[in-house]
Structure 1
Amino acid sequence: MLDWDDLRIFLAVARAESLSRAGRALKLDAATVGRRIARLEEEMSAKLFVKSPQGYALSEAGDRLLPHAEAAEQAFAGAQEELSGAAGQLTGQLRIGAPDGCANYLLPQVCARISDANPGLEVQIVALPRVFNLSKREADMAITVSRPTAGRLTVQKLTDYHLHLAAHREYLANSAPLTCKADLRGHRMIGYIPDMIFDKELDYFAETEAQVVGLASNSASVQTRMVQSGAGVGIVHDFAIPFAPGVVRVLADEVSLKRAFWLIRHADDRRSERLTRFAEALGQGLRDEVTRLERLAADTTLAGL
């Protein structure tokens, strides 16, 4: 008979593709994880993994077992919540992956409010400038800047948001006039490292007259800090401007970008009431916070200097 604890270990190895990484996630040593997998394979009379120099990959039998193990995981999580005594509240651990701009400027306060309403909930925010692999359960859900078109995923639009050219007041006071897009050629531009743009929606500078990015980072938050330091002009999330004192929007009538955040979940999770309830709270919280912060940012606009 299959045991949930065995399936839990199977899922950890399937997602980590390594005994040692799975062991760290489970707080078990790698040898114990290996013995438990061997025991499960013996009980099932099937090899669940194919070992190679790259790690542990699922075999054909492992692929067949995976959706059943994930269903058991969801059922176990649902049972825990139902029996926890926290009626109507979310409990347990949830991990969200997000691009660093969203993770730095929006998710902390949004998730804090959700946690205040659900004291038994533990929320983990993973901020990385890349796309997350939900199949490997790097996160329970992820926020992206473009709508995925492939994979077994459920996709939900969360909110639109806006970006504008911005600079620090001191930089503008001590630099060449900036009255139209053509003037950008005389300013140091701040943006993404071109060959590290992981999503086409982040390729902003095609919409400006700028020719060269003089300072670059793969992090939107680092770019905002560069702008705040007076290093030049960059395209900044409106929702980040209230966190950067002295930074103002410039040429807002000429350069205005609109993008969207999308919430993606593994297709098998659509039956999880727990994840659905969290997604609803997250979506409403993000919409409210983007609206609040963008109103504050609009008050910092300078049409030209």
Structure 2
Amino acid sequence: MAEPKWDDLRVFLAVARTESLSRAGKTLRLDPATVGRRVARLESALEAVLFMKSPQGYALTQAGARLVARAEAIETAMFNAQEDVLGGAETMTGQIRVGAPDGCANYLLPQVCASICADNPGLEVQIVALPRVFNLSKREADMAITVSPPTAGRLTSQKLADYHLHLMASRDYLAAAPALSKLEDLKDHTIIGYISDLIFDTELDYLSEIGGPRTKFASNSVSVQLNWARVGSGLVIGHDFALPFAPELTRVLSDQFSLKRSFYLVRHADDRNISRLGLFAKELGKRVRQEVVRLEGRT
């Protein structure tokens, strides 16, 4: 049995995580044929079949599943060796991908990540804004921001920050709409909210807190909801930290209704020894907390 090459193990991990030669190729910037040859070369070196092709994609065999943990350990060692060569433990370099719900991704992460990169010129940050839970085991992201801590899997989490939400509407809408002085008046108003069957976390079910009124306008995107409110379509439960980006909106009934939620930073347990990810997580946590306080203070 020949000694496997790191380049082939790197390709193996990409296929294991994406379950596809083409998706792995996009991640690695290789064509699918090259990815397939690398996998075949690794299987030949190890004298084992690592994947079974199915209609759903490339599924790990038992041998492939056993190899994943060993390959990830080598990956961690390679990351740390690269960091040592490029500048030591206090340097953040290379690419880091962060997954986040789109409210956080749109209104907090751009300026926070820009400030971190300004202090670390060798760092590249990708923000993946998706209204769903990220699969860190498949390396969809290096870390993810969530609205609930994980309850399963080899994951670690730390609380980033508390944030607040209130009912909001544009001044134009309020000028033309029926009177609104108490929560019971909401029955006479147009409500904007989430598509109920696409709410991926109960912490996002804001409207249930006010009796679950029927929505006339609904989206799985916080930004779409907020923009509907900005053009005068109705009332929305919005993030206080987003208000400075939507000057058309004002909070309503804030003395009668408010919500507090939290952001958590979730990482794969196997990444705890990758120093640049640890440094980035520390800076991200500190600066997200500062930015939430700053933006909420402007509301």
TM range (shorter): over 0.9
Q: Give the Cα separation in 2 of the matches to 1:138 and 1:24.
A: 13
Preserved CA contact (<8 Å) 1:181 1:209:
no
Runs of 4+ in 1 over 6 A off after TM superposition: none
Residue matched to 1:277: 279
Unaligned runs of 5+ in 1: 298-305
Deviations along 1:101-122, one digit per CA (max 9) or x if unpaired, are 0000000000000000000000
Amino acid at match of 1:104: N
Deviations along 1:262-298, one digit per CA (max 9) or x if unpaired, are 111111011222111100000001000000111111x
| 78-87 or 284-293, larger mean C-alpha shift | 78-87
Residues 173 and 12 of structure 1: is their aligned pair in 2 closer, same or farther, counting only changes over 3 Å? same
Q: Give the Cα separation in 2 of the matches to 1:129 and 1:190.
A: 17
Amino acid at match of 2:105: A
Deviations along 1:123-156, one digit per CA (max 9) or x if unpaired, are 0000000010001100000001111101110111
RMSD of aligned Cα (Å)? 1.1
Q: Give the Cα separation in 2 of the matches to 1:19 and 1:3.
A: 19
Residue matched to 1:302: none
Residue matched to 1:241: 243
Residue matched to 1:81: 83
After superposition, residues 137-286 of structure 1 pair within 5 angstroms as: 137-209=139-211, 211-286=213-288
Preserved CA contact (<8 Å) 2:89 2:275:
no
Preserved CA contact (<8 Å) 2:229 2:249:
yes
Deviations along 1:218-245, one digit per CA (max 9) or x if unpaired, are 1011101111111110100000011001
Structure 1 SS opposite 2:134: coil
Q: Give the Cα separation in 1 of the matches to 2:241 and 2:48.
A: 52
Residue 69 of structure 1 pairs with residue 75 of structure 2: no
Preserved CA contact (<8 Å) 2:90 2:279:
no
Q: Give the Cα separation in 2 of the matches to 1:212 and 1:49.
A: 48
Q: Give the Cα separation in 2 of the matches to 1:269 and 1:210.
A: 40
Normalised TM-score (structure 1): 0.95
Indicate which of 129, 132, 136 corresponds to 1:130: 132
Q: Give the Cα separation in 2 of the matches to 1:44 and 1:2.
A: 7
After superposition, residues 10-89 of structure 1 pair within 5 angstroms as: 10-85=12-87, 88-89=90-91
Q: Give the Cα separation in 1 of the matches to 2:209 and 2:69.
A: 44
Q: Give the Cα separation in 2 of the matches to 1:139 and 1:88.
A: 22
Residues 76 and 8 of structure 1: is their aligned pair in 2 closer, same or farther, counting only changes over 3 Å? same
Residues 34 and 293 of structure 1: is their aligned pair in 2 closer, same or farther, counting only changes over 3 Å? same
Question: How far apart are residue 167 of structure 1 and its match?
Answer: 0.5
Question: How far apart are residue 89 of structure 1 and its match?
Answer: 2.1
Question: How far apart are residue 49 of structure 1 and its match?
Answer: 0.9
Normalised TM-score (structure 2): 0.97
Structure 2 SS opposite 1:213: coil
Residues 40 and 171 of structure 1: is their aligned pair in 2 closer, same or farther, counting only changes over 3 Å? same
Preserved CA contact (<8 Å) 1:185 1:209:
no
Deviations along 1:29-50, one digit per CA (max 9) or x if unpaired, are 2111111111111111111111
Residue matched to 1:300: none
Question: How far apart are residue 10 of structure 1 and its match?
Answer: 0.5
Residue matched to 1:90: 92
Q: Give the Cα separation in 2 of the matches to 1:61 and 1:76.
A: 23
Question: How far apart are residue 209 of structure 1 and its match?
Answer: 4.7
Number of aligned residue pairs: 297
Q: Give the Cα separation in 2 of the matches to 1:24 and 1:272.
A: 24
Amino acid at match of 1:179: S
Residues 22 and 246 of structure 1: is their aligned pair in 2 closer, same or farther, counting only changes over 3 Å? same
Residue matched to 1:303: none
Percent of aligned pairs with the same residue? 64
Preserved CA contact (<8 Å) 1:189 1:210:
no
Structure 1 SS opposite 2:148: coil
Structure 2 SS opposite 1:172: helix
